[in-house]
């Protein structure tokens, strides 16, 4: 009968094993940047690094609690099993005030610690007062089922005639804070950059600032994380992080040129114009 405890032990060991293995597998761990093959398994954004370290701290704390409780459970189910009429009797007690106090105060302290410890990170990634004082990169309007991204043109201002309109194509520069204004034109969507740990719902009727950065140039993916209708899964965006501002400006110029095209091109590039 006591061997049932081994089932619970096995489940706990496998669970711990899975989480012990996860950090060394790029497909299991928190999504990394574009240079994942080079062994960079950490996040590549400043918010992401803080979030990852918080994640690891919580993982360790919960891991310890998990192992502790499972050991107790397995121990109890192994050693206190009924051994028939001749076995020992169950001990008779109704509880212990001291224990109750201990296991109320210690978890409470840990939980309050976690809660307070992360306040700073939360404030720095979401509070509007923490938004970087930079020229906005773009206005991102989610619609079923694409991201309409509107970059300020030469005048550097949004909502003017020289804005560049792109679909599913977000560009910004490495090492610079990118600030976008997130809107929705129909239903709820959610702007999710897994590699940068950024997520924010796009809400009909609201304009929400979102900011992020990264220290690795390359290609990333933009995900819609809030159910938005039949084509929800299709709502993927390409993200390109440019090495330098010049590279970005160059791209912007060529895209603007394509957008103002008034002739049939000799070669149809077919990549940027709307």
Partner 1 sequence: MTSRLRFVLIAGSISFLLTGCGDAFNAGTISYKDSEQFTKKQKDTPDLDGKPQLQEAVRKALADLFGPRPQEIKVPAGSGFPEGGRYLANYEKVGDGVQDIVYTEANSGKKVAVVGGYGLYRKYCLHCHGVQGAGDGPTAEFLYPLPRDYRRGVFKFTSTAPSNPKPTRADLKKTITHGLHGTSMPAFEALMSGSEIEQVIDYVIFLSMRGEVERNLISIAALVDKDDINGITADDIKESLDTVVNNWKATETLVVSPKARRTEPTRESVLRGRDIFLGKKFGTGQPVACTDCHGLHAKGDGSSFVERNIFDKVVFRRKSLDTAIEERYKELGDEHKSAQWQPGGHGGGHDSASSELPETFDAYKNRETTNWDKGSKDDWGNPLRAANLNLGVYKGGRRPIDLYWRIAKGINGAKMPAHGNLLPDDQIWDVVNFILALPYEPDLLKDAEQIKKSVTAAPAVTQR
Partner 2 sequence: MSNEHAANGHGHADPHAHGADHGHGHDDHIHPAPTNPLFKYVFSTDHKVIGIQFLFSGLIFFVVGGLLAMAIRWQLAWPWKPMPFMARFMPSWAENGYLMPPEWYNKLFTMHGSVMIFFVIIPLLTGAFGNFLIPLMIGARDMAFPKLNMFSYWFMPPAMIAMANAFMVPGGAPESGWTSYPTLSNSFTSTPGSYEAQTWWLISLLFAGVSSLMGSINYITTIIMLRAPGMKLFRMPMTVWALFITAILQAFALPVLTSALVMQLLDRVAGTNFFSPAGWVVANGPAVVGGGLPLLWQHLFWFYSHPAVYIMILPGMGMVSDIIATFSRKPLFGYKPMVFAIAGIAGLGFIVWGHHMFQSGMNPALGATFMLSTMMIALPSAIKVFNWLGTMWGGRLQFTSSMLNAISFVAMFIIGGLSGIFMAATPVDMHIHDTYFIVAHIHYVLFGGSTFAIFAAIIFWFPKMFGRMMNEPLGKLHFLLTFIFFNGTFFLMHIIGMHGHPRRIADPTVYEYLRGTGTMGLNQFMTLSAFGLGLSQLIFAFNFLYSIFAGPKAPANPWHANSLEWVATDSPPPYFNFEKIPTVYHAPYEYSVPGMENDYVPQTQPLPEPTAHTVVEKA
Q: Which is nearer to partner 2, 126 or 176 (CB)?
A: 126
The pair of three-digit structure tokens given for residue 27, joined into one six-digit string: 């497909």
Checking phi first, is residue 223 left (phi over 0); if not, alpha (psi -120 to 50) or beta?
A: beta
Q: How many C-beta atoms surround the C-beta of residue 178 within 10 A?
A: 22
- Residue 29 near which of partner 2, partner 1, none (CB within 5-8 Å, type-dependent): partner 2
> Are 113 and 132 spatial neighbours (Cβ–Cβ below 8 Å)?
no
Q: Which helix (H) or strand (E) holds 231?
A: none
Q: Which is nearer to partner 2, 39 or 231 (CB)?
A: 231
Q: Which letter, b or e, does each residue of 242-257 get, where b requires 16 or more Cβ atoms within 10 Å of its Cβ?
A: beeeebbeebbeebbe
For partner 1, the binding residues in 217-236 under the rule CB under 8 A are 230-231, 234-236
Please tell me whether residue 260 binds partner 1 under the rule CB under 8 A. yes
- Residue 13 near which of partner 1, partner 2, none (CB within 5-8 Å, type-dependent): none
Residue corresponding to tokens 């304009």: 207
SS3 55: helix
Name the nearest CA neighbour of 177 among 147, 207, 135, 142: 135
Residue corresponding to tokens 């009727």: 205
For partner 1, the binding residues in 140-169 under the rule CB under 8 A are 144-146, 148, 159-161, 165, 167-169
Please tell me whether residue 238 binds partner 1 under the rule CB under 8 A. yes
Q: Nearest approach, Cβ of 1 to partner 1 (angstroms)? A: 39
- Residue 188 near which of partner 1, partner 2, none (CB within 5-8 Å, type-dependent): partner 2
Residue corresponding to tokens 């405890």: 5
Q: Residue 72: how many CA atoms within 13 Å on its side-chain side?
A: 5
Name the nearest CA neighbour of 239 among 178, 157, 154, 153: 178
Q: Which is nearer to partner 1, 210 or 228 (CB)?
A: 228
Q: Which helix (H) or strand (E) holds 167?
A: strand 164-167
Answer for which of 86, 97, 129, 263 binds partner 1 (CB under 8 A) is 263
Site size for partner 1 (CB under 8 A): 30
Site string for partner 1, 32-51 (x = CB under 8 A): --------------------
Site string for partner 1, 172-211 (x = CB under 8 A): ----------------------------------------
Cα(71)–Cα(156) distance, integer angstroms: 61
Q: Which is nearer to partner 1, 83 or 236 (CB)?
A: 236
Q: Nearest approach, Cβ of 152 to partner 2 (angstroms)? A: 23
Q: Nearest approach, Cβ of 180 to partner 1 (angstroms)? A: 17
Q: Which is nearer to partner 1, 89 or 161 (CB)?
A: 161
Cα(105)–Cα(116) distance, integer angstroms: 16
- Residue 263 near which of partner 1, partner 2, none (CB within 5-8 Å, type-dependent): partner 1
The residues binding partner 1 (CB under 8 A) are 144-146, 148, 159-161, 165, 167-169, 230-231, 234-238, 258-264, 268, 270-271, 273-274
């Amino acid at each position: 009968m006591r061997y049932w405890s081994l089932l619970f032990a096995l489940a706990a060991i496998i669970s711990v094993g899975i989480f012990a293995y996860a950090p060394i597998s790029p497909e299991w761990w928190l999504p990394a940047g574009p240079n994942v093959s080079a062994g960079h398994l950490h996040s590549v954004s400043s918010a992401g690094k803080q979030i990852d370290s918080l994640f690891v701290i919580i993982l360790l704390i919960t891991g310890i609690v998990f192992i502790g409780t499972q050991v107790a459970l397995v121990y109890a189910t192994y050693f206190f099993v009924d051994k028939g009429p001749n076995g020992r009797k169950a001990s008779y007690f109704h509880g212990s005030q001291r224990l109750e106090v201990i296991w109320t105060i210690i978890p409470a302290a840990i939980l309050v610690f976690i809660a307070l410890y992360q306040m700073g990170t939360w404030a720095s990634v979401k509070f509007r007062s923490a938004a970087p004082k930079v020229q906005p990169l773009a206005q991102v309007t989610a619609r079923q089922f694409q991201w309409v991204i509107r970059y300020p043109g030469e005048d550097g201002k949004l909502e003017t005639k020289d804005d560049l309109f792109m679909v599913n194509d977000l560009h910004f520069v490495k090492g610079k804070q990118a600030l976008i204004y997130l809107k929705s034109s129909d239903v709820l969507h959610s702007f999710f950059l897994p590699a940068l740990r950024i997520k924010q719902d796009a809400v009909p009727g609201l304009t929400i600032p979102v900011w992020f950065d990264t220290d690795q140039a390359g290609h990333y993916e933009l995900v819609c994380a809030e159910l938005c209708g039949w084509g929800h899964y299709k709502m993927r965006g390409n993200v390109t992080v440019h090495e330098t501002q010049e590279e970005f400006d160059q791209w912007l110029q060529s895209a603007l040129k394509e957008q103002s095209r008034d002739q049939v091109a000799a070669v149809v590039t077919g990549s940027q114009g709307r």
